[in-house]
A and B are shown apart, each in its own frame.
Chain A
């Protein structure tokens, strides 16, 4: 943000150290979870989590007997599907809101917000009946649809704000060059708001990944996401701390890895001179 390259010490003081502080705050609990997950469970309460007698037994149990790999796969399918459905529906809708003025625009945008204002938990019963009637209970599709409806309103609003940041003149330039609206969208606007798309995609992925209520109600034996699997480790009389923390650690990894992979695209500069014909 500041322009001339600052000296390294200055950079360390103003950037690295604060960043480190924030990361300590961010990762502290996560590391605590990690230590708990590799601690010896029999001394967990008497001595507290510790690295002595570290064991990866919880992780092996997690995959072997709890069947966490299947859960990860289910979560991944649902989250991935939601990203695809959610993004495709919201990008076109957002373009429409961003570029056009038409009757009912305000109402429609507010309608999308309204949907997210209602406590979802009360919608479970009607949704459950709907899915049962459609014969979609315990399928990935049911979860993808349900999660998409939660994700779409937010995504539309976010994409609108990103698209508003791209001057309309660019669209118009493209159209005078002979593109249709849709082509202008595809060739000009989308590449330029790629960071926004990535951010929105991440948002949809994470929201769907962490979703519990719908996954529990609409899922079942065939579709069991990690959020549901992790909840089964909280029993009536016992919390399986080792397995639970292991599940939490593993559960956070896919989103993190995904983000690591796409974060470069998040920072694609606009400065490369937009549309040059």
Chain B
């Protein structure tokens, strides 16, 4: 905290001095899961290398992050740079809030150091580039190797195998007549669309923008509903479970499998040691689908000193700094050199991530995505799980949303 105060005083002094000698300030918004203020070290390193720029980094609570960002943009008090995700890009672009970075990118020699394809993946809806990737994760399947061994099971590679495996894993372990372990921890609350998508969008010809209401599309949602209602392999709390519930249940041994990403890997190992491992998600309906969890930085169009803001965000995606950044966030670096020397996570989880990259996808780059993620998917999925509506209706509603 002393360090923070010192940095605070230093920043203020620099700011005052700056006003006199045309120094710039970059206001940066971020959200970290790590409470130990690791951004301080990065800010200090940057300011040392760029003495004429001061960075004011502000940690905004995640669950209000985008509310705050939109309010600030509309209210005229937007930051100069911020951490941003792909689902928000269409809206931000439509609001005219982002500054295109194509020109800067062309001049930047760190551009080649990024993982192949990342720049392409994060292109804006109008073809211009606004986002600079800074970290990523890919969702994979967590499973309990000890339980699998106990029951003589192998890791499922197709949905049918998955169903059988989950049913075998759902059992009563202490003989009291109650189910103690469930096969799969399904995430029914907001943010769980990736689970559903793995079972549905892998099918041939099915995607969020087309084929959802086809037989194959509805079969996917039906599969999820059946797993819950008929087979009982999800815990009864599934409709309201968020990430903390599925992670907690898995750690506590209440579920034998779940889907998440490397961000939780270290916590899992801490709780379960060698009894946790990961594999790519099963193939369903002919193909695999898993979510690519993106995070980038961007320069806002209202930035006071866009060049300084650009310098700051490229700093974060440069070799060495990117490692520092990701050590703080627990995700994977986007810089090739950094991923090669990556040691923060046990190898098996990195392997599962890399193996899943070929079929990792992002949600459509349209403004309907935000509504899908925030309200349309959770509400409809919950209603299907509780038997309120049929799977066909849910798929129809979602297709309608994206058709607009």
Nearest opposing residue in chain B for A234, CB measure: B63
Residue-wise, chain B 53-90 has the 8 Å CB interface mask toward A (1 for contact) of 00010111111100010011011110000000000000
| A231 and B264 contact, CB distance less than 8 A | no
Residue in contact with A231 in the complex, picked from B63, B75, B260, B271, CB distance below 8 Å: B63
User: How far is the CB of B20 from the nearest CB of chain A, in Å?
Assistant: 21
How extensive is the interface on chain B, given as a class?
35 or more
Q: A216-B64, A234-B61, A234-B63 are in contact. Are A61 and B35 (CB under 8 A)?
A: yes
Nearest opposing residue in chain B for A41, CB measure: B270
| B33 and A45 contact, CB distance less than 8 A | no
> Which residues of B have CB within 8 Å of A228?
61
> Which residues of A have CB within 8 Å of B75?
125, 128-129, 132
> Which residues of B have CB within 8 Å of A65?
1, 35-37
Q: Is B333 an interface residue (CB 8 A)?
A: no
Nearest opposing residue in chain B for A62, CB measure: B35
Q: Is B41 an interface residue (CB 8 A)?
A: no
How extensive is the interface on chain A, given as a class?
20 to 34
Residue-wise, chain B 27-41 has the 8 Å CB interface mask toward A (1 for contact) of 000011111110000
| B59 and A232 contact, CB distance less than 8 A | yes
| A243 and B33 contact, CB distance less than 8 A | no
Q: Is B17 an interface residue (CB 8 A)?
A: no
Beta-carbon contacts under 8 Å, A32-50 to B? 42-43, 45-46
Docked CA distance A42–B269 (Å): 10
> Which residues of B have CB within 8 Å of A216?
61, 64, 68
| A217 and B71 contact, CB distance less than 8 A | yes
| B243 and A217 contact, CB distance less than 8 A | no
Docked CA distance A125–B37 (Å): 29
| A46 and B62 contact, CB distance less than 8 A | no
Docked CA distance A221–B60 (Å): 10
| B1 and A238 contact, CB distance less than 8 A | no
Q: A67-B1, A233-B35 are in contact. Are A46 and B271 (CB under 8 A)?
A: yes
Beta-carbon contacts under 8 Å, A224-277 to B? 228, 231-240, 243
> Which residues of B have CB within 8 Å of A17?
none
Q: A45-B248, A132-B77, A217-B71 are in contact. Are A240 and B35 (CB under 8 A)?
A: yes
> Which residues of B have CB within 8 Å of A137?
77
Q: Is A146 an interface residue (CB 8 A)?
A: no
> Which residues of B have CB within 8 Å of A128?
71-72, 75, 77
Beta-carbon contacts under 8 Å, B232-254 to A? 243-244, 247-248, 251-253
Q: Is B330 an interface residue (CB 8 A)?
A: yes
Docked CA distance A22–B393 (Å): 47
Give me 23 A-to-B residue pairs in the complex whose CB atoms sit less than 8 angstroms apart, sorted by A's number. Answer: A45-B271, A46-B251, A65-B36, A65-B37, A124-B71, A128-B72, A128-B77, A132-B76, A220-B58, A221-B56, A231-B61, A232-B60, A232-B61, A232-B62, A233-B35, A235-B32, A235-B34, A236-B263, A237-B33, A237-B260, A237-B264, A238-B243, A239-B244
Q: Nearest 10 pairs between A and B by C-beta?
A: A235-B33, A231-B61, A45-B251, A128-B75, A237-B263, A65-B36, A67-B1, A236-B62, A238-B33, A45-B248
